[in-house]
Amino acid sequence: MTQIPKESISLETLAPRTYLDRTKGNRPLSTPIIRGAIFAAPSSQEHARLYQSNAETFYHRFGHPGENELAKKVAALEDAESAIVFASGMATISTTLMAHLASGSHVISGDQIFAQTQELLEWLSNGRGVRVDFVDMRELDLVKAKMRSDTRIIYIETPSNPKLRITDIAAIAALAKEHGAMVVVDSTFATPMAQQPLKLGASIVLHSATKFIAGHMDVMGGVVAGPRRLIEPVYRMKRLLGGILDPQAAWLILRGIKTLHVRAQHIFSTALQLARYLESAPAVRRVYYPHLESHGEFQVASRQMLAGGGVVSFTLNGDIDVHRAFLDALQLVQIATSLGGVETVIEMPYDLDWYGLEAAPGQVFERTLIRLSVGLEHPQELIDDIEQALRSAVDRAVDAPGARE
Ligand SMILES: *Cc1c(COP(=O)(O)O)cnc(C)c1O
């Protein structure tokens, strides 16, 4: 029996399938968890062959069946030749950067990206031979002006965390190609269900699987996908840095990914409803959501994303205390970090990951910015909760001493 060509299968059908290749016969409909970290070989000759072929049944740091099953699934969802998985999003990002950068390399990075990615790039550029320019990726001319003969990587995060800025992946990819640079895209906020960067010309796509891909706030992981020639060096570096995914974690992420399509569909639809509601609420000052017409990069977002994602960021009219009072008054929505889970959570990013970070130019976002990660609850019940909390926060602000002065 021949394998169904991948291009003919929708993501909807790919996501829940345990084995993409059905030619291998009688296997459980859930990938077995193999705990044994070290495998015995029948002969020393075979032992040598297993090592030399990077077999998944040799030593867990070099790969194991759970990791490989997950990697295959992500490669299929991103329409990539190859993928590797890691213990976390940051293990993915650090290993990928270390694999592709050398002393003297130049990186152009978005100036509003995940805090720890920014910190890592700053660390690499701090006496470690890598030069990094943080640039507003929405301004193609700025990016073009920074390109140099030694520019190795253009690093973009779209939508960006937490400001939901959108970078035009195809435009950056065209620019990079002219100069022989790689484009690495952190697509965590979009998921493969909303955006497939490789199809837009990106060299490598990566995700924190901790977020939407696993989706249940009970496991951490990361994935990187792309052509074999760019993923192979990352595999070699992973063997050195050792950020492997535990078999139990790989299983949980595989379990989560089976419902990625339906979760994404529901969450993205609710997020758009909440974004529209927030935009209409008088207590709200600004809403950031890629598929709102008011978003600065709405045109690009509509072109490259099938949906706006599951995160909505916004600010309220009033000072920091009003914002805190709003969060504290929520009853259904929980105050917690991270995003992409089945439960709706909210946080104020400036207090957290970005706390105390030396800001790159343009990195700074509103001290009061609120980041809402939408879950699977009933959309109207979420709106009701937000509405009562807004009312309560506004009332408190009005009652506060000095509020009327
Ligand atoms: C959370 C996050 C990361 C880091 O992932 P971890 O799994 O927490 O290591 C990287 N990029 C983005 C956009 C994120 O939101």
> For atom 7 of ligand 1, which residue has the closest CA?
89
Poorest-pLDDT segment among 74-83, 104-113, 393-402: 393-402
Ligand 1: which of 188, 253, 354 to mutate, judged by most atoms within 8 Å of the beta carbon?
188
For residue 340, the ligand 1 atom closest to its alpha carbon is: 15
User: Edge-to-edge strands of the sheet including 334-335?
Assistant: 284-288, 311-316, 370-373, 345-347, 334-335
Cα separation, 105 vs 73, in Å, equals: 32
Rounded to the nearest angstrom, the distance between the alpha carbon of 94 and the centre of ligand 1 is 11
Ligand 1 neighbour 288 (Cβ under 6 A): no
> Which residues have C-beta within 8 Å of that of residue 184, sequence separation ≥ 6?
96, 97, 100, 153, 154, 155, 156, 202, 203, 204, 205, 206
CB atoms within 10 A of CB 46: 12
CB-based burial label for 83 (10 Å; 0-12, 13-18, 19+): buried
- Is residue 3 over pLDDT 70? no
> For atom 5 of ligand 1, which residue has the closest CA?
89
Query: What token pair was written down for 179?
Result: 């100069």
Q: Tens of pLDDT along 147-171?
A: 999 999 999 999 999 999 999 999 9
CB atoms within 10 A of CB 62: 17
> Which residues have C-beta within 8 Å of that of residue 139, sequence separation ≥ 6?
none
Position 396 scores a pLDDT of: 81
Rounded to the nearest angstrom, the distance between the alpha carbon of 337 and the centre of ligand 1 is 11
Rounded to the nearest integer, the mean pLDDT of the chain is 93
Ligand 1: which of 208, 245, 246 to mutate, judged by most atoms within 8 Å of the beta carbon?
208
Q: What is the pTM of this model?
A: 0.95
Distance of CA 364 to the CA centre of its chain: 20
Position 401 scores a pLDDT of: 59
Taking CA atoms, 186 is separated from 115, 182, 214, in Å, by 13, 13, 16
Rounded to the nearest angstrom, the distance between the alpha carbon of 189 and the centre of ligand 1 is 9
Q: Tens of pLDDT along 101-129?
A: 999 999 999 999 999 999 999 999 998 99
- Is residue 214 over pLDDT 60? yes
Poorest-pLDDT segment among 34-38, 273-277, 310-314: 34-38
Query: What token pair was written down for 40?
Result: 């015995």
Position 18 scores a pLDDT of: 81
